[in-house]
Structure 1
Amino acid sequence: MNAKNSSRFDAWGLQHTLTYGADYYYLTGDSEAAHFGSGTQRGYGGFLQWQGDYSDWLQVITAIRYDGYQLDGETKTKPVQEASLDGSRWSPRVTVGVTPVEGLQLYGTYSEGYRAPGLQDVFRGGGAHGSGDSYVPNLLLQPETARSWEAGVNVKYDDVMVGGDMLRGKLNFFHTDVDDYIDVNLTVMPRKAINIGAARLRGVEAEAIYDFGWGFVNGTASLTDAKMLTGVYAGQTLNNTPLERFSATFGVRALDDKLTMGVQHLSVGEITRTSRTSPTIPGIVDSGFNITNLFANYQVNKNLRLDAGIENLFNEAYTDPQSSWSTSAATKQGKGQTFKISLTGRIGG
């Protein structure tokens, strides 16, 4: 459940926008299998953001968010262990953007984040498949915290080549440090989720779209370096994160813009799959993969939309870089050629 609202007003030579909201979730889990435990998890938070725009060259955004959580449950190990965990944190964010010339904005951002442990992280016990004692609970698991810095440029131009077209672009550099990163230590028995150490993610992202009315071209690219800095996995790539990712999309519109159809090509570069049981073994380098998707959507009327598509058009065999599949397995995990169709309706206008 979440709610938010924005209020806008002019004062002291600035255009002000206040955005504020709150959210709450409740999760309950139980299993007859010994390795999942049972319990409830509550998460709640709220935020306040202020944006100030001065003339057409300066933009400042400041925000603060409060997050809290409550975990109550018990393990299904013998003997049963009961536990109650809770925590909370204030996380700030500030962005400053400057537009030296029309259509070109330079910006910088500092932000912090917070991620609470989950039910399975804390209460899991027993074997990987419900038998044995290869996993034990961790009733002292702490949340992750992160600090991020970003800097980049936004581009926004209209009527570039023909009347009514538009060009939008973004180039973003980022650096994130994560403390108390949550992972399972697979190097020792029994295993459990722990705050395994500090992690770092840094890289560059780029995106550009050119829209010329009856069609559009969109391209994205990201280069990421993500690794553990401390702990048993120090120096290893973080959870099989792809280092290179590129996509290109071309689409056209017809029937008074009610019909949009196009093709997307996704290319994922080399992926390092590291051994989680033997950190000293060099990672296995996968050559990556290329996937082509087709998509179409038709706005039947203002309340009804039809979508259709083909994912992985050429039935490429691949493993998603976020998969936790064994580093030694040759089996490819990704979905083969997949057809999708959906009909979405809106009631009430």
Structure 2
Amino acid sequence: MKIVAKIAGASAVLIGLQGIAYAENTNDDKKEKVMRFSSLKVSGAQDNNSPQIEAMEKPGAYSSVGDDNKLQSIDSVLRTLPGTYTQMDASQGVGAVSVNIRGLSGFGRVNMMVDGVSQSFYGIAPNEFGHAQMPYNQFGAIIDPNFIIRTDINRGQADGSDSVNTLAGSVNFRTIGVEDVIFEGNNFGVRTKASYGTNGLGKNGMVAVAGKIQAFSPEGSIGAMLAVSGYSVDAHYKNGMGINSEEFGTDETFKQKPNSQLTKLNIKPNDFHELELSGRYYHNKFTKRHIDNSDYYLKYHYTPFSELVDTKILLSSSKGTQRTLSEMSGLGKAESHNKSHAIDIKNTSRFNYGDTDFSFTLGSKLMQTEYKKKTGIDLGPDETSTEDSNVFSPSGKQDIASIYSDFKIEHGIYTVNLGLNYLDYSLKGYKPACSNNDPCFPEGETQVSSKGRGFNPSILLSAEIIPEFQPFVSYKHSMRAPNIQEMFYFGGESSSVNPFLKRETTDTYEIGFNSYRPNLIVDGDAFRLKATLFHTKIKDYINGERIMFCRKGDKEVCQIDESLTKEEKNALDATFNTYIYKNNVTPVTTKGYEISANYDAGVFYSSLAYSKQKTEQPTSQLATVMGASSSSRLPSSYLTLNTGIRLLDENMRVGAIMKYTGQSYHQDYENDTDWDIKEKMVKDDKIPTIVDLYADYKINKHIFVKFSVQNLANKNYADALNRMNSSINVTSGDTISQTARGRTYVMGAEVRF
């Protein structure tokens, strides 16, 4: 009933605003109305750089990138952005991506979206090296890289519904649409792309077909698009030493041929109404499992002749299924299901008083996410496995209800953004009965229901003093609910379910500036710079811990860490031994600074992204021993420099990408099981500076060809935050630890007409 009341309340507000707009329009014959528009800033950048430039002109820690990926992988593209990284896990497959923002990743810590739809994928890759062959787990999104047309990153800013139930920020992948396929002025279009890479990359391609016709009115139209994409990726590759990955991390089940389909329908009766429907599908057979994922959404945009009404509605539904193709230890074949439904309604009103412009956004987002599993499939009658007593893919339901607002005030060179959102959450799931020896509460089996709520204020102040110096400062308080995998984790004992798990909260402070200088060196060039200093304190950080009885004959439990004395360790009673997620008593702090710069003189261009941070979150044996999400600690610093020249009337580009990575760390299995080791994060071997070369040529507006050499010097190293580096067979010394791909040649082309 509370959720229904919130929907009704949000709807009443929006309907009321619409009524005000109608009343103003009907009064036009009595009183002349004058409509004021805010000033428009036009970026004079190259088309393929426009997303990047837009983000650099926006106050706050924002980054964007278009589809000009220079044949780089989605992980490589995201790692070129300041404050942004990825959790690499080759066992999750092509299209599975997990974004890390300032050392935080996972469901709720980073809101990952595709076309504005929040993603809830939870990978369960079978892992022969894990304890009892438990799968590798990872939160993220499933998105075919060929469909991505733009990626927007928000680090630490309040941004409407994107900031609901999230700590570090958000990332939104926008997929190809009708207007991205059809040339302006045409009614039909085809857009294709294909590439082939050596050293195991294989081949991939996409075809998108779209049509658009006038309908309903002179301003109305109907447009439709169908896009299909497919990959064929080899199981193995070679590192810089020429050693086959089969020896350190892959097997024949890593060979994959994922395929995806995307449909969109745009209906625009007139300039007031616009409707878009979309369906997206993904299938892969990979690492002994079938992966199926689907997304559906309906978007409606209403913009009458009133600045008081700009209404947007988003309805979405997502579903994912993973089915193992072979039996796992004690589980038989298994299935994991996730589904999510959401509704997001908001309205923006714009008005002015004197020389001051105002903008007020009010909205509500409701989201329900559910995880289910099925185990024991095909086990014999004498050996059964139940869904409620194993660690595989925890089950439960999470409900999120929120109301959010943003009040923007612009006066002269000054802008103030005041934000406030209210979050109400609940989690429901099953807790098995305690065994005779378990120190847990409640003792009997029960359906757990946990609730929480809170207000999250934010403020952003900015000023356009001069083009070369546009400072901003911000503060944001945010919270996120525990997720199902944390509260209902089953670590071998019923006591590992923690119904008392609390929400995480953060306080983030930022100060920075944007800078723009045209004609810096030569006439017509442009230089842009964004610099940000940030400090985030996380309270009640959720982390997995190992616990035992403190001593025989006593049900008091102790957390297994370096705080125990030698005598306390010797007294531990392992008859009770489990893992549990709990709130960390000591706050976790992340801090650092980020710089992005861009210089474009037409014939010469260069862009730089640099991040330096300190992120030291608590570690957990759940990652190395039980396969849970791996450590998200970022390298101490990293830098990407992209520079090149344009030839042949700027239709040909030749450039290089230099990637520097500072000290990085991985979680070590051997150290995790040694109570005397205080530092469980082990320093990686020094990562060499990697250089990639690329060249592309736009023959005409229809044909675009590309070529790239990745890891030009064939360096032998391991990528930071690669799950493979923390696998038991690598950290135990049974195989080499240089797991990155060696020199690789990639060629591709795009055809559009």
Normalising by structure 2, what TM-score? Answer: 0.39
2:634 match: secondary structure: coil
Q: Distance in 2 between matches of 1:210 and 1:110?
A: 30
1:173 match: secondary structure: strand
Contact 1:217 1:250 in 2 (8 A): yes
Instruction: Report what 1:14 is aligned to.
Output: 356
1:245 match: secondary structure: strand
Q: Distance in 1 between matches of 2:693 and 2:455?
A: 43
2:486 match: secondary structure: helix
Instruction: Report what 2:579 is aligned to.
Output: 191
Q: Within 5 Å, give how 1:116-131 maps onto structure 2.
A: 116-127=481-492
Contact 2:638 2:659 in 1 (8 A): yes
Contact 1:240 1:322 in 2 (8 A): no
Contact 1:76 1:125 in 2 (8 A): no
Moved more, 188-197 or 142-151: 188-197
How much has 1:175 moved relative to structure 2? 0.9
Q: Which amino acid aligns with 1:250?
A: T
What is the root-mean-square deviation of aligned Cα atoms in Å? Answer: 3.9
- Give the length in aligned residue pairs: 332
Instruction: Report what 2:503 is aligned to.
Output: 143
The one of 394, 403, 408 aligned to 1:37 = 394
1:190 match: secondary structure: strand
Q: Distance in 2 between matches of 1:8 and 1:260?
A: 43
Q: Which has the higher strand share?
A: 1
Instruction: Report what 1:52 is aligned to.
Output: 409
Choose between structure 1 and 2 for higher RCO, CA contacts under 8 A separated by at least 6 residues: 2
Q: Note closer, same or farther for the CA distance 1:199–1:213 as it changes in structure 2 (3 Å cut).
A: same
Instruction: Report what 2:741 is aligned to.
Output: 336
The one of 291, 305, 319 aligned to 2:690 = 291
Normalising by structure 1, what TM-score? Answer: 0.77
Q: Distance in 2 between matches of 1:9 and 1:252?
A: 46
The one of 325, 330, 338 aligned to 2:726 = 325
Q: Distance in 2 between matches of 1:21 and 1:340?
A: 45
Contact 2:590 2:616 in 1 (8 A): yes
How much has 1:245 moved relative to structure 2? 1.4
Contact 1:77 1:126 in 2 (8 A): no
Contact 1:320 1:334 in 2 (8 A): no
Q: Distance in 2 between matches of 1:285 and 1:261?
A: 36
Q: Distance in 2 between matches of 1:145 and 1:288?
A: 34
Moved more, 326-335 or 144-153: 326-335
How much has 1:121 moved relative to structure 2? 0.5
How much has 1:329 moved relative to structure 2? 4.2
Moved more, 84-93 or 19-28: 19-28
Q: Distance in 1 between matches of 2:465 and 2:350?
A: 25
Instruction: Report what 1:61 is aligned to.
Output: 417
Q: Which amino acid aligns with 1:94?
A: I
How much has 1:293 moved relative to structure 2? 4.3
Q: Note closer, same or farther for the CA distance 1:207–1:190 as it changes in structure 2 (3 Å cut).
A: same
Contact 2:456 2:479 in 1 (8 A): yes
Q: Note closer, same or farther for the CA distance 1:112–1:75 as it changes in structure 2 (3 Å cut).
A: same
Q: Distance in 1 between matches of 2:603 and 2:433?
A: 62
Instruction: Report what 1:105 is aligned to.
Output: 470
Q: Which amino acid aligns with 2:429?
A: G
Percent sequence identity is 23
The one of 603, 611, 627 aligned to 1:222 = 611
Q: Distance in 1 between matches of 2:511 and 2:636?
A: 20
How much has 1:50 moved relative to structure 2? 2.3
Instruction: Report what 1:202 is aligned to.
Output: 591
Q: Note closer, same or farther for the CA distance 1:199–1:215 as it changes in structure 2 (3 Å cut).
A: same
How much has 1:265 moved relative to structure 2? 2.2
Q: Distance in 1 between matches of 2:364 and 2:707?
A: 35
Contact 1:291 1:316 in 2 (8 A): no
1:206 match: secondary structure: strand
How much has 1:261 moved relative to structure 2? 6.6
Moved more, 260-269 or 85-94: 260-269
**Residues 97-146 of structure 1: CA deviation (Å, up to 9, x unaligned):** 2344342122211111212211111111144xxxxx49822121111000
**Residues 199-221 of structure 1: CA deviation (Å, up to 9, x unaligned):** 01111111111122345311111
Q: Note closer, same or farther for the CA distance 1:285–1:122 as it changes in structure 2 (3 Å cut).
A: same
Q: Note closer, same or farther for the CA distance 1:135–1:245 as it changes in structure 2 (3 Å cut).
A: farther
Unaligned residue ranges in structure 2 (runs of 5+): 1-116, 118-313, 315-343, 376-389, 435-443, 547-558, 561-576, 619-630
